[in-house]
A and B are shown apart, each in its own frame.
Chain A
């Protein structure tokens, strides 16, 4: 072995490490995180929207960035889930429920200067309901037979059948007003009538807005000059961004188990609200043994919802007994309808012809709540002799194909994000394969009335039917895990519709 002296390389290593240390030190200096000025906001979101036009694609992240900030609707949905006037200042509904006459705001223009009037409103609605429309909620507009514009301030919708949810639907992100000249480019350069104007979208990173100086609604005066939506997928990265002050707020934080790590941070505040996301384990009601109501009821009674919430979502979340959330009008707590009772569950299973239980497979998407809930359920179902195999199923692509389109599954688990979507159980085809004429009749009845109180009562009956029939196991409503700077005011704590409404957000002195 040749012995070689190494004075030179050793010195080299020393030089390199010195140089590296010096370089690092220089990099740190003078580059302290920017102080958030009082009129800017940096808001973190988990999912980056795919396109910025909520009228041509479904992902909720689109509305969470643009709805009420860039785009506005004829009406809007407020923080308590109620319909409020917006670009339509008032409306009249004919007694037969077939004619809606809207009076529009005057002096409103889009960010590029194009005027908003009844012609623009007709254009937006015709685009959404037209033959080649790709609006994800095209069904909302299905009952509109024709649209009249007698003058620039008046918009008249003639319906082919009464549609009691129409006003509510017109408040949705998918129903916002877009302009004839700019609609085609809204996907990448959204142009609306809202309090903020689109500035820039650095794809994969952030979307930037600035205040619309000529905003029509003088009753609302947005305090923020500049807003940045930043997209941070990883919960650990989200936590780090919050703690280091890189973002001011994350209205929907990604990981419940990390929420407690913010409680002793003097700079931050945590707010836990309700969303519209109903976590349900849907069953294929056309396949054995789930076609037997007693089996579905037995499975429901074998599951302690509280334990699911504890195990899957760190105890944050509200157990539900039907496909409905406490945010929604006419909510009734039905968790006692089929309460946790393994003994009764076993008896019911035996009665249905499965005294020794059975084996089935759940298709579980990769979102954290799904496999975690499935594992807790697996343990509880084992108690009554039922064996559940968990099959990971990529969401959205494979899940949409297998469950939604092919309906080739036994049980699945997914959070239904659309507000007030109890009517999915009346849709045919839909993945539950649930068929109940009495329920369908209720969904028809709710559209035949425009009186909110009467609607709430019908929704109550509908919830009760589902709680009894359990076409899906009703588990819990996802919490809205808000974490933001203590000095930040005006962010919504609940989420009656997926959104980040910023017109009322401001910094406290």
Chain B
């Protein structure tokens, strides 16, 4: 068990190192020079050279990579070219928006999808199953940013119940901040919930055909108990796999949804940094996203071991 975890951890670190190299190489290949973007169309070649020197852009590629990597390892993410402040602070500020948003969206999608999926499976062909099927079809078809626009039109512009966007910050109280995240979280959660409902339904259905279900029923356990004690726990592995995968899509979807709701999140930071060629910010944020996804997968793998004792023996 311990050997397994440490082997996985080593793999994780090697992956991150390769990813960091790739990020650096790709950033260097991108057309566009940060200095000329900052100085605009009137700058003279001498002014450009002065700024490139200030930013360290005139140094060789390998040296810049080494500096960056060493900095990251020592917890120094460098300075944003355009904002002129340490990237670490920027990322932390933005995480205070994106992380709660992502967690809220995951929680919401689980709250909707798992009961609905279980219900649909246990009453296959019934009303609940039809409802679940229609819901998941619509949810998969409608993209998150479109859902976001519909929510704004309904709840902000027409009903005036919710703020149309923006983020008051956690320092202005828990409720106003949570309220600002609610609609974006719903917009992100619905498409996720649609997929998760389908997965839950088919995973639970599968367990209902298993021998242990028949045995449990034969032992005289009530159908309800069989469903919640035996079927649902056995369906958790595929559900967790999908949740782990969805996390990646959630981060990508957040870029669009943060834009529509004007939330100062990590996704918007990444988008802005790309258009400004704020290379340091780009490198750090992409590395962070990559790390998040890799760590998430690692945690999902670990969760299998916790859910299913059989897997512990196999490995």
The residues of A with any CB-CB pair to B shorter than 8 Å are 1-10, 12-13, 16, 20, 24, 27-28, 31, 33, 48, 50-51, 57-59, 131-139, 187-188, 202-205, 230-234, 236-237, 239-241, 243-244, 246, 394, 396-398, 400-402, 404-405, 418, 424
Closest Cβ–Cβ distance, residue A473 to chain B (whole Å): 18
**Interface hub of B40, B51, B116, B264 (most chain A Cβ within 10 A):** B40
- With contacts A237-B152, A241-B164, A418-B42 taken as known, whether A8 is within 8 angstroms of B228 at the C-beta atoms is yes
- What are 22 A-B pairs with beta-carbon distances under 8 A? A2-B208, A3-B223, A4-B223, A5-B222, A5-B224, A6-B227, A10-B128, A16-B111, A24-B182, A50-B83, A58-B39, A58-B40, A58-B41, A188-B85, A204-B264, A234-B262, A244-B160, A246-B165, A394-B31, A397-B33, A397-B37, A397-B276
Q: Which residues on the B side are within 8 Å of A4 (C-beta)?
A: 122-123, 208, 223-224, 226-227
CB <8 Å contact, A27 and B179 = yes
Q: Report the tally of A-B residue pairs with Cβ distances under 8 A.
A: 203
Q: Which residues on the A side are within 8 Å of B41 (C-beta)?
A: 58, 400, 404, 418, 424
- With contacts A12-B115, A237-B164 taken as known, whether A1 is within 8 angstroms of B124 at the C-beta atoms is yes
Complex alpha-carbon distance, A405 and B45, angstroms? 10
CB <8 Å contact, A134 and B175 = no
CB <8 Å contact, B122 and A6 = yes
Complex alpha-carbon distance, A53 and B214, angstroms? 73
CB <8 Å contact, B272 and A48 = yes
Complex alpha-carbon distance, A132 and B53, angstroms? 10
Q: Which of B33, B36, B149, B224 contacts A236 (CB 8 A)?
A: B149
CB <8 Å contact, A6 and B224 = yes
Does B99 have its Cβ within 8 Å of any Cβ on chain A? Answer: no
Secondary structure call for the B interface: helix
Closest Cβ neighbor of A261 among chain B residues: B157
Closest Cβ neighbor of A58 among chain B residues: B40
CB <8 Å contact, A246 and B164 = yes
Query: Which B53-83 residues have a C-beta within 8 angstroms of A?
Result: 54, 82-83
Does B30 have its Cβ within 8 Å of any Cβ on chain A? Answer: yes
Interface size class of B (residues with CB under 8 A): 35 or more
Does B1 have its Cβ within 8 Å of any Cβ on chain A? Answer: no
CB <8 Å contact, A237 and B224 = no
CB <8 Å contact, B82 and A50 = yes
Query: Which B246-265 residues have a C-beta within 8 angstroms of A?
Result: 259-262, 264-265
Q: Which of A48, A133, A202 contacts B169 (CB 8 A)?
A: A202
Closest Cβ–Cβ distance, residue B152 to chain A (whole Å): 5
CB <8 Å contact, A234 and B93 = no
Does B303 have its Cβ within 8 Å of any Cβ on chain A? Answer: no
Complex alpha-carbon distance, A466 and B213, angstroms? 84
CB <8 Å contact, A6 and B119 = yes
CB <8 Å contact, B37 and A234 = no
Does B220 have its Cβ within 8 Å of any Cβ on chain A? Answer: no
Does B143 have its Cβ within 8 Å of any Cβ on chain A? Answer: no
Q: Which residues on the B side are within 8 Å of A234 (C-beta)?
A: 259-260, 262
Complex alpha-carbon distance, A59 and B36, angstroms? 11
Does B156 have its Cβ within 8 Å of any Cβ on chain A? Answer: yes
CB <8 Å contact, A204 and B43 = no
List of 3 A-B pairs having minimum Cβ-Cβ separation, nearest first: A397-B32, A58-B40, A204-B264
Complex alpha-carbon distance, A137 and B226, angstroms? 75
Query: Which B1-59 residues have a C-beta within 8 angstroms of A?
Result: 30-33, 36-44, 46-47, 50-51, 54
- With contacts A241-B164, A401-B31, A401-B32 taken as known, whether A205 is within 8 angstroms of B38 at the C-beta atoms is no
Q: Which residues on the A side are within 8 Å of B47 (C-beta)?
A: 133-136, 138
Query: Which B117-168 residues have a C-beta within 8 angstroms of A?
Result: 118-119, 122-124, 128, 149, 152-153, 156-157, 160-167
- With contacts A13-B116, A51-B84, A58-B38 taken as known, whether A230 is within 8 angstroms of B122 at the C-beta atoms is no
Q: Which residues on the A side are within 8 Å of B83 (C-beta)?
A: 50-51, 188, 203
Q: Which residues on the A side are within 8 Å of B259 (C-beta)?
A: 233-234, 237
CB <8 Å contact, B164 and A243 = yes
Does B268 have its Cβ within 8 Å of any Cβ on chain A? Answer: yes
Closest Cβ neighbor of A47 among chain B residues: B272
Q: Which residues on the B side are within 8 Å of A243 (C-beta)?
A: 156-157, 164
CB <8 Å contact, B36 and A404 = yes
Closest Cβ–Cβ distance, residue B89 to chain A (whole Å): 9
CB <8 Å contact, A50 and B276 = yes
Closest Cβ neighbor of B231 among chain A residues: A4
Q: Which residues on the A side are within 8 Å of B264 (C-beta)?
A: 202-205
Q: Which of A13, A134, A241 contacts B50 (CB 8 A)?
A: A134
Q: Which residues on the B side are within 8 Å of A24 (C-beta)?
A: 182
Complex alpha-carbon distance, A400 and B32, angstroms? 7
Closest Cβ neighbor of B81 among chain A residues: A50
Closest Cβ–Cβ distance, residue B280 to chain A (whole Å): 13
- With contacts A2-B208, A6-B123, A51-B84 taken as known, whether A27 is within 8 angstroms of B175 at the C-beta atoms is yes
Does B90 have its Cβ within 8 Å of any Cβ on chain A? Answer: yes
Closest Cβ–Cβ distance, residue B155 to chain A (whole Å): 9
Complex alpha-carbon distance, A134 and B35, angstroms? 10
